[in-house]
Amino acid sequence: MIEPMMNKNEYTYYLVGNVDDFTERLGRVVRLGNEEIAIFKTTDGRIYALENKSPGPRGGTIAEGIISGDVLFDPICDWKISLTDGQVLDPDTGQVRTYPVQVHVEEVRVGLLKNVGETFHE
Amino acid sequence: MVKVQDRRHLVLIGNGMAGINTVEQILKLAPSTYRITVFGSEPYPNYNRIQLSYVLEKSKAVEDIILNDRNWYLENGIELYTGTTVTHIDTEQKIVKADNGMEVPYDKLIVATGSNPFMLPVPGADKEGIVGFRDIADCQNMLHAADQYKKAAVIGGGLLGLEAAKGLLKLGMDVTVVHLFEEIMERQLDHTASLMLQAELESQGLKFATGKQTEEFLGDDRVSGIRFTDGTTLDAEFVVMAVGIRPNTALAKKSGIVVNRGILVDDYMRTSAPDVYAVGECNEHRGITYGLVAPLFEQGAVLAKHLCGVDTKPYEGSVVSTQLKISGVDVFSAGEFMDAEGLSIVRMHDEWLRIYKKVLLRGGRIVGGVLIGDGKESSRLQQWIRTGTVMTEAIHNAIMGQASVETGNTAAELADEEIVCGCNGVTKKHIVDAINEKGLTTVEEIKVATSASRSCGGCRPVVEQILQYVLGDKYDSAAAKQEAICSCTTLSRDEVVTAIKEKGLITSKEVRYALEWDNPEGCSKCRPALNYYLGMIWPTEHVDEKDSRFVNERMHANIQKDGTFGVVPRMYGGVTTPDDLRLIADIAVKYNVKLVKVTGGQRLDLLGVKKEDLPKIWKDLGMPSGYAYAKALRTVKTCVGSQFCRFGTKDSMGMGILLEKKFERLDMPAKFKLAVNGCPRNCAESTTKDIGIVGNEGAWEIYVGGNGGIKARLAELLCKVRTDEELLEIVAAFMQHYRETGKYLERTSEWIERMGLESVTEAVVNDLDNRRVLAERMEVALAQVKEPWSEILNNSNLRERMFEEISVSTKQD
The per-residue pLDDT for B404 is: 41
Contacts of B795 (CB under 8 A, 6+ apart): none
**Contact at 8 Å (CB) between B346 and B369?**
no
Confirm whether B4-116+247-307 and B632-782 share one CATH topology: no
**Contact at 8 Å (CB) between A109 and A5?**
yes
Phi, psi of B17 (to 5 degrees): -65, -40
Q: Residue B624, Cα to own-chain centre: how many angstroms?
A: 36
Q: Give the Cα separation of B475 and B481 in Å (integer).
A: 12
- Measured on CA atoms in the order B475, B479, B482, B485, is the torsion positive or negative? negative
b or e along B185-209 (b: 16 or more beta carbons within 10 Å of the residue's beta carbon)?
bbebbbebbbbbbbebbeeeebebb
What's the CATH architecture for B130-243?
Answer: 3-Layer(bba) Sandwich (3.50)
Q: Which one of A64, A72, A77, A83 makes the best mutation probe of the B interface by having the most chain B beta carbons within 10 Å?
A: A64
Q: Which one of B562, B808, B813 makes the best mutation probe of the A interface by having the most chain A beta carbons within 10 Å?
A: B808
**Contact at 8 Å (CB) between B56 and B168?**
yes
For the domain spanning B632-782, the CATH number is 3.30.413.10
Phi, psi of B322 (to 5 degrees): -130, 135
Does B406 score more than 60 pLDDT? Answer: no
For residue range B625-642, what is the model confidence (pLDDT) as tens digits? 999 999 999 999 999 999
Chain B interface residues (partner A, CB cutoff 8 A): 448, 519-524, 527-528, 546-548, 550-551, 554-555, 559, 561-563, 611, 801-802, 805-813
Cβ-Cβ contacts under 8 Å, A31 against chain B: 805-808
Q: Is B316 helix (H, G, I), strand (E, B) or coil?
A: coil
**Contact at 8 Å (CB) between B440 and B434?**
yes
The per-residue pLDDT for A9 is: 55
The per-residue pLDDT for B179 is: 95
Does B565 score more than 70 pLDDT? Answer: yes
A1 located within any domain: no
Phi, psi of B589 (to 5 degrees): -70, -45
* Beta-carbon separation of A58 and B561 below 8 A: yes
Cα B583-B589-B594 angle, rounded to 5 deg: 120
In this structure, the strands spanning B207-210 and A71-73 are: unpaired
* Beta-carbon separation of B808 and A14 below 8 A: yes
For residue range B767-811, what is the model confidence (pLDDT) as tens digits? 999 999 999 999 999 998 989 999 888 888 888 888 888 888 887
Mean pLDDT within B43-71? 85
Tell me, yes or no, if A68 comes closer than 8 A to chain B by beta carbon: yes
The per-residue pLDDT for A122 is: 33
The confidence band for B317, taking pLDDT boundaries of 50, 70 and 90, is confident
A107 located within any domain: no
Does B385 score more than 90 pLDDT? Answer: no
Quickly count: other Cβ atoms within 10 Å of residue B762's Cβ.
13
Q: How far is B562 from chain A (nearest CA, A)?
A: 6
A75 located within any domain: yes
Question: Percent of chain B at pLDDT above 70?
Answer: 96
Q: How far is A102 from chain B (nearest CA, A)?
A: 16
ipTM for the predicted complex: 0.83
* Beta-carbon separation of B562 and A59 below 8 A: yes
* Beta-carbon separation of A60 and B812 below 8 A: no
What's the CATH architecture for B4-116+247-307?
Answer: 3-Layer(bba) Sandwich (3.50)
The confidence band for B813, taking pLDDT boundaries of 50, 70 and 90, is very low
Candidate from A4, A65, A69 with C-beta closest to B521: A69
Q: Which one of A5, A66, A109 makes the best mutation probe of the B interface by having the most chain B beta carbons within 10 Å?
A: A66
A106 located within any domain: no
A110 located within any domain: no
Domain CATH code at residue A74: 2.102.10.10
The confidence band for B660, taking pLDDT boundaries of 50, 70 and 90, is very high
* Beta-carbon separation of A66 and B548 below 8 A: yes
| Of B125, B126, B199, B204, residue with least CA distance to B170 | B204
Which domain covers residue A32, as residue numbers? 22-101
Q: Amino acid letter at B197?
A: L
* Beta-carbon separation of A32 and B810 below 8 A: yes
The confidence band for A119, taking pLDDT boundaries of 50, 70 and 90, is very low
The confidence band for B457, taking pLDDT boundaries of 50, 70 and 90, is low
**Average pLDDT along chain B:** 89
Q: Give the Cα separation of B175 and B794 in Å (integer).
A: 59
Phi, psi of B803 (to 5 degrees): -115, -20
Q: Domain segments of chain B: what residues?
A: 4-116+247-307, 130-243, 409-480, 493-549, 632-782
| Of B496, B469, B502, B500, residue with least CA distance to B483 | B496
Q: Is B415 helix (H, G, I), strand (E, B) or coil?
A: coil
The confidence band for A3, taking pLDDT boundaries of 50, 70 and 90, is very low
The confidence band for B477, taking pLDDT boundaries of 50, 70 and 90, is low
**Number of domains observed in the structure of chain A:** 1
In this structure, the strands spanning B365-372 and B355-362 are: antiparallel
For residue range A89-115, what is the model confidence (pLDDT) as tens digits? 877 888 999 999 999 888 999 998 875
Question: Percent of chain B at pLDDT above 90?
Answer: 55
Give the DSSP per-residue string, B2-71: --GGGSEEEEEE--SHHHHHHHHHHHHH-TTSEEEEEE-SSSS--B-GGGHHHHHHTSS-GGGGBSS-HH
Q: How far is B554 from chain A (nearest CA, A)?
A: 8
Does B402 score more than 60 pLDDT? Answer: no
The per-residue pLDDT for B405 is: 40
Question: Percent of chain A at pLDDT above 90?
Answer: 53
Does B378 score more than 90 pLDDT? Answer: no
Q: Where are the alpha helices (DSSP H) in B631-693?
A: 652-663
Question: pTM above the 0.95 mark?
Answer: no
The confidence band for B375, taking pLDDT boundaries of 50, 70 and 90, is confident
Q: Give the Cα separation of B466 and B471 in Å (integer).
A: 8
Of B427 and B58, which is predicted with more confidence? B427
Domain B409-480 homologous superfamily, CATH: BFD-like [2Fe-2S]-binding domain (1.10.10.1100)
